[in-house]
Structure 1
């Protein structure tokens, strides 16, 4: 356990929440892709409200794009850890970064599939 981590459960939750918010802030500040995908989410929410025929569809539409943000957070974590080790070319570093990129792409494909399914459902 980190010596800075509080032992009290509520204090530990508050400590973890502060670290999570700091993580959001850092990624938002440092990663243009995350900012762009967050902007898409801001636009997607009202579009999803209009498009969805139920609250369930709305939740699935928004969650599918939120998954893209989760993947981008993971990708940013991988890139930061790999860059911390060094900037020289290494096959494993490339493999890690490529896998992180593939994670984001997979999340985007899932979101596209979900949105397409809801659009088709609305049109039929």
Structure 2
């Protein structure tokens, strides 16, 4: 069954999409410890990037690497919620899906560390 909201177009679709996005961010913040930690990390690191970045490109890369962690965490949280909605029983495929999502977050964090390290110390 398709969503009744799929037929919306134009400004109404944009307004609805924005509202859904805000609700998703609220839900992640309220229900996901890792997301809250990464938001607070961003609150510290984004102003720091503006201060420490040598030029506009460096600042942009530092900020983008922080935002990438948040985006990947949101996707990981969505995967985990979907898997849990389907079943709470231990299953090899459920574990694999959650582990792969977690690995994506780890790689985004490694990317952040590498970008910041190269831009600050190079």
| TM-score range for the pair, normalised by the shorter chain length | over 0.9
Contact 1:51 1:119 in 2 (8 A): yes
Q: How many residues align structurally?
A: 121
User: Under a length normalisation based on structure 1, what TM-score does the superposition of the two structures give?
Assistant: 0.93
Post-superposition Cα deviations, 1:65-116, rounded to whole Å, max 9, x if no partner, equal: 1100011001000000000011111000000000000010010011110000
User: Under a length normalisation based on structure 2, what TM-score does the superposition of the two structures give?
Assistant: 0.94
Residue 49 of structure 1 deviates from its aligned partner by 1.7
Post-superposition Cα deviations, 1:19-40, rounded to whole Å, max 9, x if no partner, equal: 0110011001100100100101
Which structure 2 segments of 5+ residues have no match?
none
Structure 2 residue aligned with 1:69: 70
- 5 Å-filtered alignment, 1:38-117, equals 38-117=39-118
User: In angstroms, what is the RMSD of aligned CA positions?
Assistant: 1.1
**Partner-residue secondary structure (3-state), 1:79:** helix
In structure 2, distance between residues paired with 1:119 and 1:72: 25
Contact 1:6 1:15 in 2 (8 A): no
Which structure 1 segments of 5+ residues have no match?
none
